[in-house]
Structure 1
Amino acid sequence: MSFIRTRVANGVGEIILDRPKALNALDQTMVDDMFVVLKDWVGDPQVQSVLVTSASDRAFCAGGDIRAIRDAALAGDHASVTRYFSAEYELDQLVADFPKPYIALIDGPALGGGLGISVHGEVRVVSEKAMIAMPETAIGFMPDVGSTYFLPRLPAGVGLWLGLTGARVHGSDAVAIGLATHHVPSAEFGGLADDIRSGMPLAQALSGRTETVSGTSLPLAKIAEYFSDDPVAAIVGGLRGAVGDDWAAQTVAQLDAASPTSLVVTAALIELGARSTLDECLERELHAAEQITRTPDFAEGVRAVLVDKDRNPAFSPAELADVDLELVTRIIG
């Protein structure tokens, strides 16, 4: 059984994510199947563009199948962990390099691995129901799928803010900061998809449906002020000192819920990614993923958020000041 469906008609190859019970979380089979399909379509003259959609109205893609990764790591099956991340990152690179228009319609949550199969593509259409986030630090992991390449290329401080806090970006805000290219009302998504499937030129299909994004609800000035190039401890200290600022207090709470080790690793990876190519970032992320999945924080974070769902992880160390910098160096490579 495959959790993706495909069809080719009118010059359009469509990949439909169809694992609704898991909110389309990408398991090994989905990653492998998508790669084979896209690789075949590169040279297929019947496919002039690619459309990626979800069969469910609940989500575009909830990320990678991180529970399965935890199970493998706990069993000492590190070869399976490497195989998964190697295949996933190879798929992300293929999306980025795809020589034909690649269109993702995001009408719901797109988390972690869901960004790997969308943000690297040429066209990313979001609705007001779209919710984009990289929530990995809360599970003792770090932002991956090439995010250490695209996050530092967002407006000042935004990438570090998203990567450290796991903050959620909705609808038109994703267009405003560059994670999406077009905003279309959810009610128009069915018609948009049908027009694209019919072979209608994309610009024509989008015409009359795209809403102009003239601003953002995100506090970009505050994000730029607090999420500079300072060490994570300095960022947290600055936010704690913002007495009476509700946004700062909420942001501190998000950081306090994350693994301190993951925060330091994430900041370092994003800093390195700012001066690296995508393939260099993916190679660095693969090494980091192999290493960080062996740490107790990863097993504990996934347990707390995805397995027992008590949202009360016991990370070790519990404080930024106690993070083992030698371990951070080994994770980053």
Structure 2
Amino acid sequence: MSITVLTSAYRLRSLCRLQRIQGHMMSTQVETDVLLEKMGRAGVITMNRPKVLNALNLTMIQKIYLQLKKWEQDSETDLVIIKGAGGKAFCAGGDIRVITEAAKAGDSLAEVFFREEYILNNTIGAYKKPYIAVIDGITMGGGVGVSVHGRFRVATEKTMFAMPETAIGLFPDVGGGYFLPRLQGKLGLFLGLTGFRLKGRDVHRAGVATHFVESKKIPDLEKELVNLKSPSAEDVSRVLDSYQNQSSLDSEKPFVLEKHISDINRLFSSSSVEGIMQNLKADGSEFAKKQAETLSKMSPTSLKITYKQLQAGADLSLSDVLVMEYRLSQACMRGFDFFEGVRAVLVDRDQNPKWNPSTLEEVSDQIVDQCFSSLGQKDLTF
């Protein structure tokens, strides 16, 4: 097949997607779940569901995607800023309970949601204009997906970053398989398996954020960014650097994991999750005991999927990682642990999930490999 035919097919598919999204959005009544504004020569996206910590729903994802596409082509728009409303959260993740209910009912939302979300993540990763995520507050799951793949991520002392998906029978998706293995040493694997929470300046020190700026300085920072005239990425970087240099809060405190980094690199170096657990139990230190205890509460299937996802993702492009993660998302929708995890953590809140299989040893390589299998015509395409 010629490149011309392939390009035409790709354009047609993109056009059909845009038309489908526009049709869906015209039929929805929600107007304010995401605010899309033009300020000077900047496009500003504000996720606006503060009561649910700005959790992403399908409409928000579709609106943001469409607007990003428009601004990318617009000669009057030089950069994009994305933030969350309410002061508590940037975005705490996707609207998991809605997805769970849909999947239980056999509704296609569970297919469509992950598909559209990952397409948005890929769009952000390939965005041609400076994209600045102000991750001021809770940033988890889907909130990581709309920030971490952008060129600039600004953390504040209020930032709380985590990928806690293994606790609900899922895996660190939204491109976690791409960015986690690219953090220093085994840090990404540690964060992905345990769901460990990083806060404030530590989000920058870990390499998740590109900058740290005190929360009170954010309004001035946004104002300066909005007023930039035809900025390059270097111009944006200079502004962010200058605000970071003015932010000394907590600078004297060491990185929360500093004294454990060599332990993490040693203990999480193994060819299997079982091997990691053996390392932790044999080590005997308080830190190792704590991590072993944390992992023992997670879905064994999720732990094994996550381990393989991050191993594979280290050598893949973001778009290839997202194709892999879409397969994994649909495997989780077909499985048991995701529904049980959501029940235990978010619905009944008894924090006592009954995983099936219940041990790492019972999760065979065959079970894991099946999760990575092609979906054929239903595979994610860009």
Distance 1:324 1:302 in 2: 23
* Residue of structure 1 equivalent to 2:215: 186
Residue-by-residue CA offset, 1:108-134 (whole Å, 9 max, x unaligned): 110011111000001100011111111
Amino acid in structure 1 at the alignment position of 2:132:
I
Distance 2:243 2:119 in 1: 36
Pair 208,279 (structure 1): closer, same or farther in 2 beyond 3 Å:
closer
Stretches of structure 2 that go unaligned for 5 or more consecutive residues are 1-29, 230-234, 374-382
* Residue of structure 2 equivalent to 1:216: 255
Task: Report the alpha carbon displacement of residue 275 of structure 1 after superposing the two structures with TM.
Answer: 1.1
* Residue of structure 2 equivalent to 1:40: 70
Task: Report the alpha carbon displacement of residue 229 of structure 1 after superposing the two structures with TM.
Answer: 3.8
Question: Is it true that 1:139 corresponds to 2:168 in the alignment?
Answer: yes
| SS of the residue 1:178 aligns to | coil
Pair 316,57 (structure 1): closer, same or farther in 2 beyond 3 Å:
same
Task: Report the alpha carbon displacement of residue 325 of structure 1 after superposing the two structures with TM.
Answer: 2.7
Question: Is it true that 1:24 corresponds to 2:54 in the alignment?
Answer: yes
| SS of the residue 1:225 aligns to | helix
* Residue of structure 2 equivalent to 1:292: 332
Residue-by-residue CA offset, 1:86-108 (whole Å, 9 max, x unaligned): 10000000001110000011111
Task: Report the alpha carbon displacement of residue 328 of structure 1 after superposing the two structures with TM.
Answer: 1.2
| SS of the residue 2:334 aligns to | coil
Task: Please give the root-mean-square deviation of Cα atoms over the aligned residues, in Å.
Answer: 1.6
| SS of the residue 1:270 aligns to | helix
Question: Is it true that 1:277 corresponds to 2:306 in the alignment?
Answer: no
Moved runs in structure 1, 4+ residues, more than 6 A? Answer: none
Q: Is the 8 A contact 1:8 1:46 kept in 2?
A: no
Count the aligned residue pairs.
331
Q: Is the 8 A contact 2:205 2:255 kept in 1?
A: yes
Distance 2:283 2:84 in 1: 41
TM-score (norm. length: structure 1):
0.95
Question: Is it true that 1:9 corresponds to 2:48 in the alignment?
Answer: no
Distance 2:215 2:296 in 1: 34
Larger relative contact order (CA 8 Å, sep ≥ 6) = 1
Amino acid in structure 1 at the alignment position of 2:59:
T
Pair 226,96 (structure 1): closer, same or farther in 2 beyond 3 Å:
same
* Residue of structure 2 equivalent to 1:153: 182
Say which is worse superposed, 169-178 or 126-135, in terms of deviation: 169-178
Amino acid in structure 1 at the alignment position of 2:325:
E
Task: Report the alpha carbon displacement of residue 208 of structure 1 after superposing the two structures with TM.
Answer: 4.3
1:1-333 mapped onto 2 (5 Å cutoff): 1-2=30-31, 3-77=33-107, 79-199=108-228, 202=236, 203-204=238-239, 206-210=241-245, 211=247, 216-218=255-257, 219-243=260-284, 245-333=285-373
Residue-by-residue CA offset, 1:146-181 (whole Å, 9 max, x unaligned): 110111111111111111111111122222221110
| SS of the residue 1:7 aligns to | strand
Task: Report the alpha carbon displacement of residue 22 of structure 1 after superposing the two structures with TM.
Answer: 1.1
Q: Is the 8 A contact 2:102 2:109 kept in 1?
A: yes
Residue-by-residue CA offset, 1:13-61 (whole Å, 9 max, x unaligned): 0000101111011110111110011011110111100001111111000
Stretches of structure 1 that go unaligned for 5 or more consecutive residues are none
Distance 1:157 1:209 in 2: 27
| SS of the residue 2:161 aligns to | strand
Amino acid in structure 1 at the alignment position of 2:262:
A
Q: Is the 8 A contact 1:133 1:166 kept in 2?
A: yes
| SS of the residue 1:207 aligns to | helix
Q: Is the 8 A contact 1:195 1:205 kept in 2?
A: no
Pair 332,192 (structure 1): closer, same or farther in 2 beyond 3 Å:
same
Please tell me whether Structure 1 or Structure 2 has the larger radius of gyration of its CA atoms. 2
TM-score (norm. length: structure 2):
0.83
